[in-house]
Amino acid sequence: MQHTPAPAATPSFYLKRHAQVVHALILVGVVLLVVQPVLLLAFERPWLDLFGAGSFLGLPTAPADGPARWRTALVSLLPVGGGLYALRQLWRLFGEYGHGRVFGKTAQDALVHFAWAVLLLALLLPLARGLMTVALSIGNPPGQRFMSISIAWFDCLHILFGAVLVAIARVMAEARRLADDNAGFV
């Protein structure tokens, strides 16, 4: 006996509105992520200090010269790329939610990929910040080069958040599998 899933329900007004708000926030997030390397390349140090680019990127100081800015901007592409991937998965997820396909396979896959992206980014961001400090100081004379790796409370919070998201995604995948199995018996 072949199970035919019921047609997707029409999304509620609130779910559709929520998906639209999240899509708008994702677009803002994309702009903020893409601006990071551009800020490093486009502005000299006094302007970077004014914008707080060093603290925005997790660096002890803004890059002083052109080659340091280029190196730091190139290394910053690693977390930027990971962030863009996570936001792409979130876009897919809320696109499905906006169409009322909350428990569909595409929504489930997007949730799983987003959860893993968040967890991996949380684990890799301290390392990426450390690599940016190396890129920042590698042009310094010997004895003035440094590497700074720090883990703050929000890094631990992001790791926990990622782990919770992975668990929720797995529970939802199992619930979907059980629902499909049970629907096949009816």
pLDDT in tens, 116-175: 999 999 999 889 888 888 888 888 778 877 777 778 888 899 999 999 999 999 998 888
| pLDDT band per the 50, 70, 90 thresholds, residue 66 | confident
pLDDT at 65: 76
Measure the CA–CA gap between 66 and 54, rounded to whole angstroms.
15
| 8 occurs within a structural domain | no
Measure the CA–CA gap between 88 and 77, rounded to whole angstroms.
16
Q: How many domains does the chain have?
A: 1
pLDDT in tens, 6-53: 555 566 889 999 999 999 999 999 999 998 888 777 766 565 556 555
| 111 occurs within a structural domain | yes
Helix axes 105-137, 66-98, angle to 10 degrees: 170
Task: Give first-to-last CA distance, the chain, whole Å.
Answer: 9
pTM of model > 0.85? no
Nearest-CA neighbor of 94 among 22, 150, 174?
A: 22
Q: Which domain holds residue 162?
A: 13-185
